[in-house]
Copies of this chain bind each other. A is one copy, B any other.
Amino acid sequence: MTVRIAVLGASGYTGADLVRLALEHAEVEIVALSANAKAGQRIADVWPHFAMFPDLPRLVRAEDVDFAGLDVVFGCLPHAASAALLRDVRGPRIVDLSADFRLRNAAVYADWYGGVHPAPELLAGAVYGLTEFARAALPAARLVACPGCYPTAVLLGLLPLLQARLIAPERITVNALSGVSGAGRGLKEANLFAEVAEGVAPYAVGRHRHMPEIEQELGMAAGLPVTVSFTPHLVPMNRGELVTMIVETAAPLAALRTCLAERYVIEPFVHLLPDGVAPGTRMVRGSNHAVVNVFADRVPGRAIVVVAIDNLVKGSSGQALQNMNVMLGLPETAGLRQAPLFP
């Protein structure tokens, strides 16, 4: 079986990491790569680390992609641009990595993303692709919305506990740390090396766009509206994402551990660490794995849940490929078996 794919937006970090992983997937053939601003260039001009893959297709404009012969299209475009383009794609199934199809409510989208949704008619049919919690819906999906990187980490840590009613849906506090690739490859002074290195700071305090997505999914699990405190920080590293979450619970630590252990024992990519071992991003770098743990807090009635992922892999391109595998009935780990890179 050969799956013919296109990657739209191949000049961004998520697009590039999707190409990297697809190259390791025996069933995938990369048929087209688009990048409007760099159309006509070879991929190695844009991504020197692909210099040794001369057979990769040249970059083209998205409108020049022949969608007819494709099986799957991966959208790695900015929000709004993604929906505007994908709306008219016929034929291939779509795995979108933008924010455009994550929120079920177009009005919430408009509030947070600053504009009318380009294709609200597609929202109802989109599957929210947190793979471990979407397996039933993926095989029939025509359009999959991959979760944001922060929501992926948060939800992997909290969904089982919330579904089991072991933690309260109120007063959830999420502290999040991200590597700089999460900010994208766009030219912003704030992302220059000398601005970021040797320092750390929060950003978007009190108003980050991943909040409504987190709250939508936690709310569905809890069966009532959820509002979280969420504070992301930029950390001087390329990759990696870590969330440290304070939750209220009446359950003992052992019950929380058992819940997570039972939920994840069968999962190839989500791992509960041994008691007391703190998740770190170095444990998952470059891989599709997530590591999870839960700790007692000194404040009675509180627990601390920690999750680490690679923001570009499980938080983005790896999960996209994992979703494609499930959609197509391929082995879920195909193309994703590489071990983390350390150091």
Contact = CB atoms under 8 A, between A and B. Distances in A.
Given A181-B194, A244-B175, A343-B198, A285 B188 contact: no
Interface of A: 13, 16, 19-20, 23-24, 47-53, 171, 173, 175, 177, 179-181, 185, 187-189, 191-203, 205-207, 211, 227-231, 233, 235-240, 242, 244, 246, 269, 271, 273, 277-287, 289, 291, 295-300, 302, 304, 306, 308, 337-343
A181 to B, nearest CB: 5
The quantity of this chain's copies bound in the complex is 4
A230 B218 CA distance: 24
Contacts of A343: 13, 181, 194-195, 197-198, 238-239
Q: What are the 4 closest A-B residue pairs judged by CB atoms, nearest first?
A: A201-B280, A199-B282, A194-B343, A175-B175
A240 B280 contact: no
A114 B81 CA distance: 39
A245 to B, nearest CB: 10
B199 A280 contact: yes
B199 A285 contact: yes
B187 A189 contact: yes
Given A246-B173, A299-B227, A196 B193 contact: yes
Given A48-B277, A52-B340, A173-B246, 4 more contacts: A48-B280, A181-B343, A205-B278, A206-B304
